[in-house]
Structure 1
Amino acid sequence: MPVQLDNILCLLCHMSEHQKMKAAVKHSARGALVAGAGAFVGGLVGGPPGIAIGGAVGGLMGAWMTSGQFKPVPQIIMELPPVQQQKLCDSVYEIVRNLDWTDASQLIMLVMGSATLKQKVAAALINYINQELRAEIQYGD
């Protein structure tokens, strides 16, 4: 199975690179921590009005810190732990298991040559990124 895993990873990297896919993992916990810290410090310094001001400033800082952190999807795929890579590849393997391929380039050719397969594999990749990684997808530069 390692050869199939590598082939499917190559396919996913090729597809996501071809579509210029980027993803941003949402760090809502970090943003909430900054917002809470801002409210706490504001409360210490300014009392009840300081809580409101500190919370607002902390919330803005938290939102700013967590926005715009997009990474190319091929990079995200290759940085996944092996267990997550396997889970992703298993979902894609269900789509391509009936194809006859010997290496990654042949698998890429077969999938990219079929609009239906391309759409199904892309949907599986997007679904994995959205559901498992809780990430937002962006296309283009």
Structure 2
Amino acid sequence: MPIMVDDIMRLLCSISQERKMKAAVKHSGKGAMVAGAMAFVGGLVGGPPGIAVGGTVGGLLGAWMTSGQFKPVPQILMELPPAEQRKLVNEAMAIIGNLDWTDAVQLTALVMSNQAMQQRLLAMLTTYVTKELQAEIRYED
């Protein structure tokens, strides 16, 4: 079973790498911490008006810090915890379950020669990244 997980994860990485997919996972917690900290400091320094100014500045700073942090999707996939990888593999198996392969290279070759299967896997991967990871996807040219 671990070999199958590794094979399918490599396949998904190959597909996303070929499409040059990048994703930005939203770090809303980090942005909220910055906004809260700035509001707190503003309140200490300037009283009630300082809270408003600090919160505004902190909110803008937090939004700026967390925007545009795009990473290649293959890197994100390989950094997933094992439970999430298994979940993704189970979804992929629903699409490629009828294929017979011996290693990741053969599996990748089988899928890359089948445009319909590629599209189904790409759609599944896109849905997973956007819904489960709550990430924004970009395709580089």
State the TM bucket, normalised to the shorter chain: over 0.9
Q: Which amino acid aligns with 2:41?
A: V
Quick one: distance in 2 between partners of 1:44 and 1:3?
Answer: 56
Question: Displaced runs of 4+ in structure 1, greater than 6 A?
Answer: none
Aligned to 1:132: 132
Aligned to 1:23: 23
Aligned to 1:86: 86
Q: Secondary structure at the match of 1:71?
A: strand
Q: Which runs of 5+ in 2 are unaligned?
A: none
What are the equivalent positions in structure 2 for 1:114-129 lying under 5 Å apart? 114-129=114-129
Q: Secondary structure at the match of 2:43?
A: helix
What are the equivalent positions in structure 2 for 1:94-113 lying under 5 Å apart? 94-113=94-113
Q: Deviations over 1:84-119 (max 9, x none)?
A: 111111110110001222221221122122221111
Q: CA RMSD in A?
A: 1.3
Quick one: distance in 2 between partners of 1:109 and 1:46?
Answer: 64
| Shift, 1:12, TM fit | 0.6
Q: What is the total number of aligned residue pairs between the two structures?
A: 141
Q: Which amino acid aligns with 1:125?
A: L
Q: Secondary structure at the match of 1:80?
A: coil
Quick one: distance in 1 between partners of 2:99 and 2:88?
Answer: 18
Q: Does 1:48 align with 2:48?
A: yes
| Shift, 1:54, TM fit | 0.8
What are the equivalent positions in structure 2 for 1:24-39 lying under 5 Å apart? 24-39=24-39
Q: Which amino acid aligns with 2:112?
A: M
Quick one: distance in 2 between partners of 1:62 and 1:6?
Answer: 36
Quick one: distance in 2 between partners of 1:91 and 1:98?
Answer: 13
Quick one: distance in 2 between partners of 1:105 and 1:53?
Answer: 56
Q: Deviations over 1:32-61 (max 9, x none)?
A: 111111112112211222122111110111
Quick one: distance in 1 between partners of 2:7 and 2:51?
Answer: 54
Quick one: distance in 2 between partners of 1:36 and 1:21?
Answer: 33
| Shift, 1:28, TM fit | 0.5
Aligned to 2:4: 4
| Shift, 1:3, TM fit | 2.1
Please report the TM-score for the alignment, with normalisation by the length of structure 2.
0.92
Quick one: distance in 2 between partners of 1:47 and 1:66?
Answer: 28
